[in-house]
Amino acid sequence: MVSTFRIETIKEVDINDIIKIQIECRISPWNYQDYQNEILRKDSASFTAISNHTIIGFIVARLIIQDNFTNSYLEAEIYNLKLWSLSKTAGLTNWQITLNRQASNTS
C-alpha cells in the first residue's frame, strides 16, 4: 500500500525537522543558517515530503542556469535528498529513486 504524501517548498519553520532527519540519516551536516540561506536563493529548489502533517523527507537542489539570455534552468545539482527511514513506503522509495536517476542522468 502506498501512503499519500504531498510535496511542499521548504519554509523556515521546517528547518528544525529537516535537521532531525539529517542527523538520524547521517547525511551532509548543514546547520540552521545553511538551510535558511539556501531557501532564500533564487536558484534553489528545496522541497519537503509531508505525510500526516509530518515532514518525512526533503530534497535540496540548486538549479543551474544554462541560458543567461532567457534564464532557462535545464539542470539541477542535488545537495541533499533523504527520506526518514521509519517512513519509507513504496511510493516514497520510488520518489527517491526517480530523483536519483534524474540526477545521475544529468551528470
Listed by start position, the domains of the chain span 6-105
Q: Where are the beta strands (DSSP E) in the chain?
A: 6-9, 44-51, 54-67, 72-83
Question: Is residue 79 scored above 90 in pLDDT?
Answer: no
> Which residue shows C-alpha cell 518525512?
56
CA distances from 98 to 53, 60, 105 (A): 23, 15, 11
Q: What is the mean pLDDT of the chain?
A: 75
- Classify domain 6-105 at the CATH topology level: Aminopeptidase (3.40.630)
Over range 57-72, report the average pLDDT: 77
Which region among 37-41, 63-67, 79-83, 94-98 has the lowest average model confidence (pLDDT)? 94-98
Please tell me the predicted confidence (pLDDT) of residue 96: 47
Over residues 29-59, the pLDDT tens digits come to 899 999 999 999 988 889 998 888 889 889 8
pLDDT at 101 over 90: no
60 pLDDT above the threshold of 80: yes
% of the chain beyond a pLDDT of 90: 26
Q: Is 4 left (phi over 0), alpha (psi -120 to 50) or beta?
A: beta
- pLDDT of amino acid 84: 61
